[in-house]
Amino acid sequence: MLIARSAVRLTHAQAMRRAIELAASPDVPLWPNPRVGCVLLSKRGTVIAEGYHRGAGTPHAEADALNQAGERARGAIAIVTLEPCNHTGRTGPCAQRLIDAGVSRVLYAQSDPNPIASGGAETLRAAGIEVESGLLAEESRAVNRVWSRATELQRPYVTWKFATTLDGRSAAADGTSRWISNAAARRDTHVRRAECDVIMVGTNTVAVDDPSLTVRDADDLPAAVQPLRVVVGERALPVHAKVFDDAAPTLVMATHDPAMVLEHLWRMEKRHVFLEGGPTLAAAFAAAGLIDEIVTYVAPMLLGAGRNAVADLGISTIADALRPTVVDIAIIESADEQPCVRLVMETS
């Protein structure tokens, strides 16, 4: 429910923070569209109406607010978290809606990185509307961090997740790997799965481990819409593998080309891949420069032998090492188990 604030005067920064709150509403799906909020202010700074986008096919944030405002929008100031779109998709262009409504001024935080939808600011200016950009741009981008980067890259954002021992092993010499991480780390993995629209592994992982690749293990996780399960590789798969059950949709891609996989998923409007494959698939994506984020759970354990967390990357000298930037470190504690260290890194 939107909050009535008609008697409260807001600065432009306060109105933008409110728009960011609306954009991040918990009922808004993460994919495939950006999350956007809008606040309409009178020239005195009182709130006329608020709106936010609730997912593909629903009114955009500006349209939602304008629908509520009606004639009160004439002469108003529109505060929007993302540059008003300039194209017709499932709905019409927001820039034109703002022009038709007679707003006098538009302030937006983040420029639209989508080449198809961008250009709204120029359209508004051409219609004689005052336009300003950049107010709380970083805070706004944080709401759509992955969507923004994926849109800039024109491919899905890839998060590679793995668990490893201190000496870089993902399994022991006999193939056993349950459990390197602890229960809390596994639950954390499900939280991160729920933030993605694709969970990806290779055919070998399906054949050997028979994973379900679903969001589960916690009652408060959004399991209503499961991510697409994607299996990459040319190895024949058992027909009774868990990935072929009805818990979630599954796509098998018989290729070893990571770029081709991501191109296909982009066309399917998939925006965030959670890569959980074994060392071979991970190495293919890493060598191709197609990993954007790494989440690893490091267990206080030594094996000395066994499967490496990642296969050969073709790196022969320390100078050529891949060096992701650490953005977060946390100790993941679990009852009656050794803690793990979770590292989150970005590659660019």
The catalytic site residues sit at 62
- Angle of helix 61-69 relative to helix 12-23, nearest 10 degrees? 110
Residue 26 is assigned to a ligand binding site: no
Going by C-beta distance under 8 Å and a sequence separation of 6 or more, which residues neighbour residue 287? Answer: 313, 314
Residue 216 is assigned to a ligand binding site: yes
Residue 18 is assigned to a ligand binding site: no
Go through the chain and tell me how many residues it has. Answer: 348
Residue 78 is assigned to a ligand binding site: no
Residue 21 is assigned to a ligand binding site: no
User: Reduced to 3 states, what is the DSSP secondary structure of residue 161?
Assistant: strand
Provide the pairing of β-strand 169-171 with 307-308.
Answer: antiparallel
Going by C-beta distance under 8 Å and a sequence separation of 6 or more, which residues neighbour residue 56? Answer: 29, 32, 33, 90
Residue 123 is assigned to a ligand binding site: no
Handedness of CA 88, 90, 95, 96 (dihedral sign): positive
Distance of CA 339 to the CA centre of its chain: 27
Q: Which of 345, 339, 310 has its CA nearest to residue 185?
A: 339
Evaluate whether 235 touches 204 at the Cβ level (below 8 Å): yes
Q: Which of 59, 285, 35 has its CA nearest to residue 145?
A: 35
Joined together, the tokens standing for residue 263 give 């191109």
85-100: b (≥16 Cβ within 10 Å) or e: bbbeeebebbbbbbbe
Residue 340 is assigned to a ligand binding site: no
Going by C-beta distance under 8 Å and a sequence separation of 6 or more, which residues neighbour residue 327? Answer: 344, 345, 346
Residue 60 is assigned to a ligand binding site: yes
Residue 159 is assigned to a ligand binding site: no
List Cα–Cα distances, 140 to 34, 121, 254, 267, in angstroms. 11, 17, 39, 26
Residue 245 is assigned to a ligand binding site: no
Residue 280 is assigned to a ligand binding site: yes
Annotated binding site for substrate: 177, 193, 213, 216, 276
Annotated binding site for Zn(2+): 60, 85, 94
Annotated binding site for NADP(+): 163, 179, 205, 209, 278-284
Annotated binding site: 60, 85, 94, 163, 177, 179, 193, 205, 209, 213, 216, 276, 278-284
